Structure 1
Amino acid sequence: MDTMKICRTHPTRTEPACTILALCLVLVSCSSDPDPPVQDMGTQEDVSSSVDFSTQDDLSTSEDLGTSEDLSDLEDLPDPDPSVLDQTLDALRQDFEAERLRIANETESGWPLATEQGYLVVTDSTEFTHIAGDFDGWQGQALTQDTGFRWAVISEGRAYKFLRIQDETQSNWAADIWSRAYGWDENGPISYLRSSIASEAHRERFFQIGTQTVSRRTVRVWVPSGEPTALIYAHDGQNLFEPDAINGGWRLNESAPEGLMIVGVDNTPERFQDYTHTTDNATGSSVGGGADAYLAMIKDQVRPLIAQHYGEPAKVGMMGSSLGGLVSLYAALTQTSDYDFVASLSGTAGWGSIDAQNQTIIDLFEAAAKPEIRIYIDSGGFGDCADSDGDGIEDDGDGTDNYCENKQLEAVLLNKGFVAGVDFWHWHEPGAPHNESAWADRVFRPLAAFLE
């Protein structure tokens, strides 16, 4: 942002805005009289000819102002309610972390917070000294130091960033990591006032969503430009919309059809635990089995939050890849009535039999009655499929990208009564690798099936 700078005096020249500011300061400081200047009301004759000074008789006929006893009753009136700004600042001083989180997740605007005076922004970082944005032509407004945090009230604008001035020629810029609406520009992450982009498709987020048993995480939302007509929950949320995501991410912001809202639930270091229905020894030790708690967290925490802020369309689905695909398939069996559709891209359908002898999702579908839900599965890779260890799962050949396990699952689902092209879809992308870039290239397929 080489065009963005703070207004200040340069050794060899003065910025125009600084000249005006300096002139104003000189005019104020030149007066030795501490009282404010009195407006010139003209001569006595001028005043007497323009203002009707009432007689004593006139005054005696004016409205009865009441006795001193009546006036004393005013002392018992409650103080006016403090403003949203004052209340918020007081709450931040009492418990900054709790109040910041409450505003981020529970208020309509999130951060920046809409107040009577403008939009309140806060930071607990000591690095930043100013905030700049469209609201001030990216010139910079000083942050006010408070008890453990800094704040400013800014006017309506589109984008903003925090700023640290290093010297006359160098400044550091950073997005507000707590802003509800956010995105990227040519210089990296940037923060938005939610009200300024409400009519556009954009990203929003909520923070520290979880339970006592499921780790807290960020929930990201792709908000369509119009009224949402369908909603799909997707796992590995930090890989869905962000240009700095691993392998370029899913780029769902580019492929999302009009009217589709996408809620991305971030993963955590407990990904193996959250996304699997049983344990396996895939990592060298037994891990997994927390899918029920994770899916309950989405149902009881995430979905009410999304409904509170955006409402919930009639059509709701779930989608994921790899282990995220596995937990989506598990939801089709255990939360069938909560979703209309699930999609599994390169789903780890053999989990439970990789280095253990537990039930796989293939086994669970085979044992269950046909669930009334629509299902999409796919894979890349290829190879020969085999069950050399006799555990019933064809995962012992040289197939890659879970190709063999998903072919086996396809056969089970068709045998259960699913009908291809009606309530079941299977796609094979020969040779496609097991990564986000490959899923981004074909995610339009499950989205199209969902919206049919």
Structure 2
Amino acid sequence: MYRFLLLAAALVLVGCGSNDDAAPSAGGSAGASGAGGSSGASGSSGASGSSGAAGDEAIVEAILDGSVSAETGLIDVSHSAGLPVATPEGFLFVRRDDGAGPYSLAGDMNDWQPAAMTQAAGVYWIEVQIADPDGVKYKFVDGQGTFAADPLARRYGWDEFGEFSLVAASAPHRERWSSVSGDGLAPRTVRAWVPTAHPSHHLYVHDGQNLFEPDAPFGGWELDQTVGSDTLVIGIDNGGVARMDEYTHVPDDIGSGPIGGEGDATADFVENAVRPLVEARYGVPDKVGVMGSSLGGLIAFHEVLRYPDRYDFAASLSGTFGWGSIGLHNETLIERFAAAQKPSTLLYLDSGGGPGSGCVDSDQDGILDDTPDAADNYCETVQLRDVLLSAGYENEKTLWHWWEPNAAHNEAAWAARAFRPVQIFEAL
């Protein structure tokens, strides 16, 4: 079993200001919560039955002595207290050997002067004394001298130089779990905006890669700037090309044959994999909400029906509530809510666009989705609103509806009105 060589002489905290001339990383937001406090590793490494940082150190030792693979062990650590690992001697930084080394470590703790890491058993590692880790930023430096954030760091942020990793911090920050899987869904990233150590409200939001990252592929919602200090936002990344399958409750045909219908697996994944992971770290909240846009709004409302007692609030922005009736004649969520016993979950739904020449059901399938010049799921959203009111929901008490005339079906439009459902949720 390896014991780690303490490299304090080479790498000791000398200050918290970075050297912009030495490396392209400085400035930006504060970091994340301190090490520890989360649930233990997932157990697949078999390295330790203990939880938190002590168990994570044992997993890294098992990686270094060859009894656990680097890939498996590092994912286990990232799902536990996270990287870097707090040890009695300092902090243990570990990076998988991807062939681009040799790797070094640079950060606030060594004035951004790269310190060589040790190569062993498929990883590079170094253990460092850091007297005050709160807000300390770091990056790895590859063999070409390129500075880049730790891809498995639990805590991270962004500045003018791009993404940086954080040792620990107490201010609002982002966190991330890589390769979270379950219920038949492919592994994906789950990310969080953490405003405080013990948030009272947990808001699960679909299409997590579009929520608060500056490099969001279609523009971000900037939810980190929208929510208050007591709301933890958990962004669940979609499955990429599998998004349409995962975010729909039944198959439909939009022109290329039947597609979709894996919504139950998505709802189960959130319930069985994501929520336990989050609550192990942050505790059980007072209120839980779920939110999404377009197909993300559809799956959010589907989760309410599949788990009617598990969500206090659900919000859909421009939800695709006509799904099922576009090219096939499968049951829509409009029909499911009409037939279901009224759930206790408070609901918000909205759309932009408008009715065009008027909402009609020309194919007589019961869904008002046949107006060619209607936009942004306006007609289907209004139809679901009316169904919910008929089922006993009360306007502005248990059901909220908003129409933003002519608003587009895109992230910028959803970002502009996300404050509406967020404020309702935070008032609960």
TM-score tier by shorter-chain length is 0.7 to 0.9
2:116 matched to 1:142?
yes
1:276 aligned to which of 248, 251, 254: 248
Match of 1:102 in 2: 76
Match of 1:449 in 2: 424
CA contact 1:85–1:117 (8 Å) conserved in 2: no
Match of 1:125 in 2: 98
Instruction: Say if 1:85 and 1:324 are closer, same or farther in 2 by CA, change over 3 A.
Output: closer
2:148 aligned to which of 174, 186, 193: 174
Matches within 5 A, 1:307-318: 307-318=279-290
Match of 1:436 in 2: 411
Instruction: Say if 1:126 and 1:2 are closer, same or farther in 2 by CA, change over 3 A.
Output: farther
CA contact 2:91–2:128 (8 Å) conserved in 1: yes
Identity %: 44
Aligned residues: 368
Matched position secondary structure for 1:247: coil
**Cα offset, 1:227, TM superposition:** 2.4
TM-score of the superposed pair, with normalisation by structure 1 = 0.78
Matches within 5 A, 1:31-430: 88-92=60-64, 93-94=66-67, 95-106=69-80, 108=81, 110-123=82-95, 124-128=97-101, 129-156=103-130, 157=133, 158-164=136-142, 166=144, 171-193=145-167, 195=168, 197=169, 199-211=170-182, 213-268=184-239, 269-282=241-254, 284-382=256-354, 383=356, 384-397=358-371, 398-430=373-405
The Cα offsets for residues 106-131 of structure 1, whole Å up to 9 and x where unpaired, read as 2x2x0011112221112223324211
**Cα offset, 1:5, TM superposition:** 5.5
Cα distance in 2, alignment partners of residues 164 and 448 from structure 1: 44
Matched position secondary structure for 1:210: strand
Tell me the amino acid that sits aligned with residue 297 of structure 2. G
The Cα offsets for residues 355-412 of structure 1, whole Å up to 9 and x where unpaired, read as 1101111111111222221000000011232211111111111111101110111111
Matched position secondary structure for 1:328: helix
Tell me the amino acid that sits aligned with residue 178 of structure 2. F
Matched position secondary structure for 1:313: coil
Matched position secondary structure for 2:309: helix
**Bigger helix fraction:** 1
Matched position secondary structure for 1:351: coil
Matched position secondary structure for 1:262: strand
Tell me the amino acid that sits aligned with residue 140 of structure 2. F
CA contact 1:246–1:436 (8 Å) conserved in 2: no
The Cα offsets for residues 245-274 of structure 1, whole Å up to 9 and x where unpaired, read as 033211111111111011111101211111
Instruction: Say if 1:117 and 1:371 are closer, same or farther in 2 by CA, change over 3 A.
Output: same
CA contact 1:278–1:290 (8 Å) conserved in 2: yes
**Cα offset, 1:98, TM superposition:** 1.1
Matched position secondary structure for 2:79: helix
Matched position secondary structure for 2:218: helix
Cα distance in 2, alignment partners of residues 432 and 254 from structure 1: 21
Cα distance in 1, alignment partners of residues 305 and 58 from structure 2: 50
- Higher RCO (CA < 8 A, seq sep 6+): 2
**Cα offset, 1:304, TM superposition:** 0.9
**Cα offset, 1:88, TM superposition:** 2.0
Cα distance in 1, alignment partners of residues 58 and 348 from structure 2: 52
Cα distance in 2, alignment partners of residues 180 and 392 from structure 1: 48
The Cα offsets for residues 207-242 of structure 1, whole Å up to 9 and x where unpaired, read as 211225112111111111252111111111111110
Of 248-257 and 90-99, more deviation after overlay is shown by 90-99
**Cα offset, 1:84, TM superposition:** 7.4
Matched position secondary structure for 1:406: helix
| Structure 1 residue runs without a partner (length 5+) | 7-81
**Cα offset, 1:243, TM superposition:** 0.8
Tell me the amino acid that sits aligned with residue 257 of structure 1. G
Match of 1:37 in 2: none
Q: Considering only CA atoms, is the larger Rg found in Structure 1 or Structure 2? A: 1
Cα distance in 1, alignment partners of residues 194 and 382 from structure 2: 35
Instruction: Say if 1:160 and 1:406 are closer, same or farther in 2 by CA, change over 3 A.
Output: same
Matches within 5 A, 1:1-40: 2-4=20-22
Matched position secondary structure for 1:245: coil
Instruction: Say if 1:152 and 1:414 are closer, same or farther in 2 by CA, change over 3 A.
Output: same
Cα distance in 1, alignment partners of residues 298 and 323 from structure 2: 8
RMSD: 1.9
Tell me the amino acid that sits aligned with residue 241 of structure 1. F
| Structure 2 residue runs without a partner (length 5+) | 1-18, 25-53
Tell me the amino acid that sits aligned with residue 416 of structure 1. A
The Cα offsets for residues 333-373 of structure 1, whole Å up to 9 and x where unpaired, read as 22110011100000000000011101111111111222221
Cα distance in 2, alignment partners of residues 161 and 238 from structure 1: 22
Cα distance in 1, alignment partners of residues 58 and 274 from structure 2: 30
Matched position secondary structure for 2:146: strand
CA contact 1:345–1:377 (8 Å) conserved in 2: yes
Matched position secondary structure for 1:337: coil
Cα distance in 1, alignment partners of residues 361 and 274 from structure 2: 39
CA contact 2:183–2:269 (8 Å) conserved in 1: no
**Cα offset, 1:162, TM superposition:** 0.9
Instruction: Say if 1:159 and 1:285 are closer, same or farther in 2 by CA, change over 3 A.
Output: same
